[in-house]
Amino acid sequence: MEILSNELAAEVADQLLKIKAIRLQPEQPFTWASGWKSPIYCDNRLSLSFPKVRNLIRDGLTQSIQHFYPQAEAIAGVATAGIPQGALLANELEIPFLYVRSKPKGHGMENMIEGQITPGQKVVVVEDLVSTGGSSLKAVQDLRNAGFEVLGMVAIFSYGFPVAAENFEKAGVKLVTLCDYEHLLPRAVAKSYIDEKALQSLGTWRKDPSAWG
């Protein structure tokens, strides 16, 4: 798990905080679907409503592909939030796009993967957000089962959980993100979204999110 560059990570953090795609509330934590209490909420889909931020992310993901996966022949978005980001990226690179459902379509062809399936094709997976990596890596396995060669994954943001790093390593998948939790927090302090006390609480959460709060 790595980022494209420190400079871009800082810029992406600033923009996501500014448009409130990322919210930090250690005193009024959010509750995730898993039941975890969390001082952070990330909804990168908001970036699609802001052309400047949308283009910053598109360009960053494009650079990530060109630098880490220059042999990419197609882009696969993870449903649902990875679909628009992946489509923008594939359009910029002028290569095919497809997407992976969380479960097969319930009627018609009952597809798990939407788009042209070309066994042996080299594909890069696109996510908007990576937490533990479970759903992201399921999409990778679905693509592999269909015959694709998965080169790796790119994403906008990662929480940087140790369990995610372990999961990606076990699956043999390289993950490159534009920003992550480690690079976000210093920018949040610098821009006065949080103070030093909140910073300490946020740091504790990342170490053991299931027990925090």
Confirm whether residue 132 is marked as ligand binding: yes
Q: For residues 74 and 202, give the distance between their C-alpha atoms in angstroms, rounded to a whole number.
A: 37
142 is in an annotated binding site: no
Distances, alpha carbon 97 to alpha carbons 30, 100, 151, 169, in Å: 34, 11, 15, 26
Do 177 and 156 form a contact (C-beta atoms < 8 A)? yes
Is 105 known as a binding-site position? yes
| Phi-psi map region of 149: left, alpha, beta (phi>0 left; psi -120 to 50 alpha) | beta
127 has binding-site annotation:
yes
- Determine whether the annotation assigns residue 208 to a binding site: no
Q: Binding residue per annotation — 64?
A: no
End-to-end CA distance of the chain: 27
Is 130 part of any known ligand binding site? yes
Q: Among 103, 129, 161, which Cα is nearest to 45's?
A: 129
Q: Is 37 annotated as a binding residue?
A: no
Interhelix angle for 134-145 vs 162-171, to 10°? 10
Q: How far is Cα 85 from Cα 154, in angstroms, rounded to an integer?
A: 10
Residue 48, helix vs strand vs coil: helix
59 is in an annotated binding site: no
**Spatial distance between the Cα atoms of 141 and 126, rounded to a whole number of angstroms:** 14
106 is an annotated ligand-binding site residue: no
- Is residue 68 a contact partner of residue 95, using CB atoms and an 8 Å limit? no
Q: Which residues sit in the known binding site for orotate?
A: 131
Q: Which residues sit in the known binding site?
A: 101, 105, 107, 127-135
Q: Which residues sit in the known binding site for 5-phospho-alpha-D-ribose 1-diphosphate?
A: 101, 105, 107, 127-135
